[in-house]
Structure 1
Amino acid sequence: MSEEHISFQYIPRFWNPPPPPPPAVSVQAKQDAGDNPPSPLVRSASASSINAGDPPVLIRGSSTNSSGGGSSGAAEKENSSPQTPQTPPENPLQARVRQIAKAKFLAAKESSLLNFEELAAVESLLNKSGQRDNVNSTEPVMLTYEDFCALRPQVPKRALRYMSPAFFLSFNPDSSGHISATAFFKRLCSSICIAKTRITLQFYDQSNRGTLRETDVENYIFNLIPDLPPLANMSTAFHPFYVFTATRRFMFFLDPKRTGSIPIKRLVTSSIMEELLELGMEGKEASTNWFSSENSLRVYSQYLELDKDQNGLLSKTELQNYTGSDRQPVRLTPAFIDRIFDEITTYQTSTNPNEKKGTGEMDYKTFLDFVLAMENKKSKEGLRYFWRLLSFGKDYLDSFAINYFFRDIVQILSDNNIEAARLSDVKDEIFDMVKPQDQLRITLNDLIRSGCGDTVVEMLIDINGFWAYDNRESLVYDDDEEEGGGENESPS
Structure 2
Amino acid sequence: RQSMGWADLLQDYVQEHQSSSSKSITTVDEEAEMDALTRDYIAEKEKEDERKRHEIGRAKSRTSTSASDGLRIPSFYKRKKKTEDLSEDDLVKKERLAYEASLQFKKHVIDGRAIENLKNALKMVKDREHGGMNMEGEFGSGDISTDDLDYLINTDGETDLTYDEYVKLREVVEPMSPPLNGVLTDEVFAQLHKDGFLVSADSILQYIDKLNGVRQSTVDLLPYDVTGDGYLTEQQLERFLLDKATESRNFTQAFLADYEQFYPVVAHKKIFFFLDPNKRMKVKLTELAASPVMMELKKALPVPRTRIEEAEQDSNWFYQGNTLRLYDEYSALDRDGDGLLSPEELLFFRQGSLNPEFIRGVFERSETFFGSLIDFRTFVDFVLAMENKSSVPALRYFFRILDINSRGYLTTFDLNVFLRWTVDRVKQEGVQMVLEDLIEQIYDLAKPKEELKITVDDLISSGVGATMVQIMIDWRALIAFEYAEKMPSEILPRESG
TM-score (norm 1): 0.71
Measure, in 1, the Cα distance between the counterparts of 2:333 and 2:379. Answer: 11
| 1:408 counterpart (421, 429, 433) | 421
Deviations 1:311-343 (A, max 9, x none): 1111111111001xxxxx561022211222222
Measure, in 2, the Cα distance between the counterparts of 1:302 and 1:476. Answer: 39
Q: 1:162 to 1:461 in 2, by over 3 A?
A: same
Q: 1:109 to 1:331 in 2, by over 3 A?
A: same
Amino acid at match of 1:201: L
Q: 1:431 to 1:415 in 2, by over 3 A?
A: same
Equivalent residue runs for 1:365-384 within 5 Å:
365-384=377-396
Q: In the alignment, which residue of structure 2 is the partner of 1:335?
A: 357
* Structure 1 SS opposite 2:181: helix
Q: 1:117 to 1:234 in 2, by over 3 A?
A: farther
Q: In the alignment, which residue of structure 1 is the partner of 2:107?
A: 111
Matched, 1:468 2:480: yes
Matched, 1:216 2:212: no
User: Does the CA-based 8 Å contact 2:170-2:184 persist in structure 1?
Assistant: no
State how many pairs are aligned.
392
Q: 1:275 to 1:97 in 2, by over 3 A?
A: closer
Deviations 1:218-273 (A, max 9, x none): 11111111344433576122233121111100111111121111111221222111
Matched, 1:362 2:383: no
1:196 Cα offset (Å) = 2.2
Measure, in 1, the Cα distance between the counterparts of 2:248 and 2:69. Answer: 26
Measure, in 2, the Cα distance between the counterparts of 1:106 and 1:225. Answer: 20
Q: 1:101 to 1:207 in 2, by over 3 A?
A: closer
Q: 1:446 to 1:97 in 2, by over 3 A?
A: closer
Q: In the alignment, which residue of structure 2 is the partner of 1:14?
A: none
Q: In the alignment, which residue of structure 1 is the partner of 2:3?
A: none
Equivalent residue runs for 1:80-479 within 5 Å:
89-90=86-87, 92=89, 95-127=91-123, 129-130=125-126, 138-140=154-156, 141-148=159-166, 149=168, 152-153=171-172, 156-162=176-182, 164-166=184-186, 169-174=189-194, 178-232=198-252, 235-236=255-256, 237-279=258-300, 280=302, 285-323=312-350, 329=351, 331-348=353-370, 359-392=371-404, 393-416=406-429, 418-473=430-485
1:165 Cα offset (Å) = 4.6
1:346 Cα offset (Å) = 1.3
- Unpaired segments ≥5 residues, structure 2: 1-66, 129-146, 491-497
Measure, in 1, the Cα distance between the counterparts of 2:86 and 2:386. Answer: 42
User: Does the CA-based 8 Å contact 2:108-2:179 persist in structure 1?
Assistant: no
User: Does the CA-based 8 Å contact 1:330-1:465 persist in structure 2?
Assistant: no
Q: 1:439 to 1:164 in 2, by over 3 A?
A: closer
Deviations 1:395-433 (A, max 9, x none): 2111111111122123323344x2431111011111111
Q: 1:428 to 1:177 in 2, by over 3 A?
A: closer
Q: In the alignment, which residue of structure 1 is the partner of 2:20?
A: none
1:461 Cα offset (Å) = 0.9
The Cα RMSD (Å) is 3.4
User: Does the CA-based 8 Å contact 1:29-1:312 persist in structure 2?
Assistant: no
Deviations 1:8-52 (A, max 9, x none): xxxxxxxxxxxxxxxxxxxx9996656xx98xxxxxxxxxxxxxx
TM-score (norm 2): 0.70
User: Does the CA-based 8 Å contact 1:33-1:238 persist in structure 2?
Assistant: no
Q: 1:306 to 1:127 in 2, by over 3 A?
A: farther
1:95 Cα offset (Å) = 5.0
Q: 1:163 to 1:207 in 2, by over 3 A?
A: closer
Measure, in 1, the Cα distance between the counterparts of 2:270 and 2:115. Answer: 32
- Unpaired segments ≥5 residues, structure 1: 1-27, 39-67, 71-75, 324-328, 349-358, 479-492
User: Does the CA-based 8 Å contact 2:335-2:345 persist in structure 1?
Assistant: yes
User: Does the CA-based 8 Å contact 2:390-2:465 persist in structure 1?
Assistant: yes
User: Does the CA-based 8 Å contact 2:122-2:169 persist in structure 1?
Assistant: no
User: Does the CA-based 8 Å contact 1:131-1:142 persist in structure 2?
Assistant: no
Q: 1:100 to 1:218 in 2, by over 3 A?
A: closer
Q: Highest CA radius of gyration, 1 or 2?
A: 2
User: Does the CA-based 8 Å contact 1:162-1:188 persist in structure 2?
Assistant: no
1:385 Cα offset (Å) = 1.0
* Structure 2 SS opposite 1:347: coil
Measure, in 1, the Cα distance between the counterparts of 2:69 and 2:278. Answer: 33
Deviations 1:152-199 (A, max 9, x none): 445633244146552663444456553211211121122222122123
Q: 1:435 to 1:97 in 2, by over 3 A?
A: closer
